[in-house]
């Protein structure tokens, strides 16, 4: 199950992300999990603290160098509010008991530099997921700070990149491929062309199956520059009928995670289509097949020629 993204905003003192989670556990249990080093070591990392306002916190990374960084406790208000700094950034944990076994957690992390406006929210998103697992009884210890190139790690980061691309483009380090096309076709017909399996097969790839439903998985084969065959693995992640269709795009046997979005807007009787492909930098960069210019050329051919050609043929 995909957990909700935190909301990123730009403030006078840097970027801020706010998470809200409702957890099926008592407020006392969650307070212990976010303040007790014996619990923090499972879902966060090895932390020592002088547990008082003004006390020092030491965060120990689980990388090969066992590096450390530091913060300071600002406020302790059991069992509702815990505030600390970390290298100039500010963390605020706020708990509200909804009933004896249900608690709302609001976590705010702020004063972020632009370079960390995606990385930090994605990292804390993962940590909050791990906190929920620990509360449910997980004994797994998270390798905080160790190199992680798994697709699960990429997925969360690319979800944040996609979410803030329009509102905060200044924090995007790797711009996506974007192709826009104005089509002299009503939006309902364009939607059918991108969301109907039988129509997709006539202008897109030879999909094994397709349904515009969140969670639906489909695959197709594609050919590389030297004839290599790649199996594409896709999962529908968002559907707003006649407005937006989004799915993940991965490759069998290769690391990486990307998101493809088709967005439609009406212009009278015409339709503007915007194709956006985020996350290409997560794929291996040692060959032409995964290079940005290859995707740019491919999407321009698909959106600029193949789709319009199919739609115009159908309108005759």
pLDDT digits (tens, 9 = 90+) for 32-43: 999 999 999 999
How wide is the angle at C-alpha 56 spanned by C-alphas 52 and 58, nearest 5°?
Answer: 130
Mean pLDDT score, 260-280: 97
Q: What is the pLDDT of residue 122?
A: 97
> What is the CB-side half-sphere exposure of residue 251 using CA atoms within 13 A?
17
Domain range 7-164, CATH class: alpha beta
Neighbours of 308 (CB within 10 A): 19
Q: Is 275 within 8 Å of 179 (Cβ atoms)?
A: yes
For residue 191 the two structure tokens come to 């939607």
| Beta pairing class for 244-251 and 89-99 | unpaired
Q: Is 308 within 8 Å of 181 (Cβ atoms)?
A: yes
Sign of the alpha-carbon torsion through 160, 161, 167, 172:
positive
Percentage with pLDDT > 70 across the chain: 97
pLDDT tens, position by position, 282-293: 999 887 889 999
Span(s) in the chain for CATH 3.30.530.20:
7-164, 174-315
User: How many whole angstroms separate alpha carbon 31 and alpha carbon 25?
Assistant: 10
Length of the chain counted residue by residue:
316
Write phi, then psi, for 132 (nearest 5 degrees): -60, -40
Q: Is 83 within 8 Å of 93 (Cβ atoms)?
A: yes
Q: What is the pLDDT of residue 316?
A: 39
Helix axes 119-135, 27-35, angle to 10 degrees: 130
DSSP string, 58-106: EEE--STT--EEEEEEEEEETTTEEEEEETTEEEEEEEEEEETTEEEEE
pLDDT higher than 90, residue 146: no
- Whole-model pTM: value is 0.91
pLDDT tens, position by position, 171-221: 999 999 999 999 999 999 999 999 999 999 999 999 999 999 999 999 999
Q: What is the pLDDT of residue 2?
A: 83
* Residues sharing a CB contact under 8 Å with residue 86, sequence separation 6 or more, in sequence order: 57, 59, 69, 70, 71
Closest CA to 142 of 70, 42, 279: 42
Output DSSP code: residue 256. -
Lowest mean pLDDT among 35-44, 103-112, 240-249, 284-293: 284-293
What is the CATH topology of the domain spanning 174-315? Alpha-D-Glucose-1,6-Bisphosphate; Chain A, domain 4 (3.30.530)
- DSSP E strands, the chain: 7-11, 14-23, 46-49, 56-60, 68-77, 81-86, 89-99, 102-112, 177-183, 217-223, 229-240, 244-251, 258-267, 270-278
305 φ/ψ sector (left φ>0, alpha ψ -120 to 50, else beta): alpha
Give the three-class secondary structure for 32. Answer: helix
């Amino acid at each position: 199950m995909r957990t909700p993204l935190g909301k990123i905003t730009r403030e006078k003192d840097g970027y801020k992300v706010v998470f809200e989670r409702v957890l099926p556990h008592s407020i006392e249990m969650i307070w212990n999990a976010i303040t007790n080093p014996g619990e923090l070591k499972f879902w966060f990392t090895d932390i020592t603290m002088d547990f008082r306002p003004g006390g020092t916190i030491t965060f120990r990374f689980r990388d090969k160098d066992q590096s450390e960084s530091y913060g300071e406790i600002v406020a302790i208000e059991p069992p509702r509010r815990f505030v600390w700094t970390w290298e100039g950034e500010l963390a605020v944990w706020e708990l509200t008991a909804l009933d004896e076994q249900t608690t709302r957690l609001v976590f705010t992390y702020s004063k972020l530099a632009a370079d960390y406006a995606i990385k930090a929210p994605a990292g804390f998103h993962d940590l909050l997921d791990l906190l929920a697992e620990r509360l449910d009884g997980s004994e797994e210890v998270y390798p905080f700070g160790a190199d992680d190139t798994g697709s699960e790690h990429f997925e969360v980061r690319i979800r944040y990149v996609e979410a803030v691309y329009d509102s905060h483009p200044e924090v995007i380090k790797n711009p996506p491929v974007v192709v826009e096309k104005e089509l002299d076709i009503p939006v309902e017909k364009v939607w059918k062309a991108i969301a109907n399996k039988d129509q997709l097969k006539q202008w897109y790839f030879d999909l094994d199956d397709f349904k515009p439903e969140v969670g639906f998985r489909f695959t197709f084969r594609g050919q590389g520059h030297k004839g290599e065959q790649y199996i594409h693995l896709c999962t529908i992640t968002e559907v707003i009928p006649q407005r937006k269709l989004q799915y993940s795009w991965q490759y069998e046997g290769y690391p990486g995670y990307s998101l493809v979005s088709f967005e439609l807007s009406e212009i009278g009787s015409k339709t503007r289509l915007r194709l956006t492909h985020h996350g290409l930098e997560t794929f291996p960069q040692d060959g032409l097949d995964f290079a940005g210019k290859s995707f740019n050329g491919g999407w321009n051919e698909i959106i600029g020629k193949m789709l319009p050609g199919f739609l115009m043929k159908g309108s005759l």
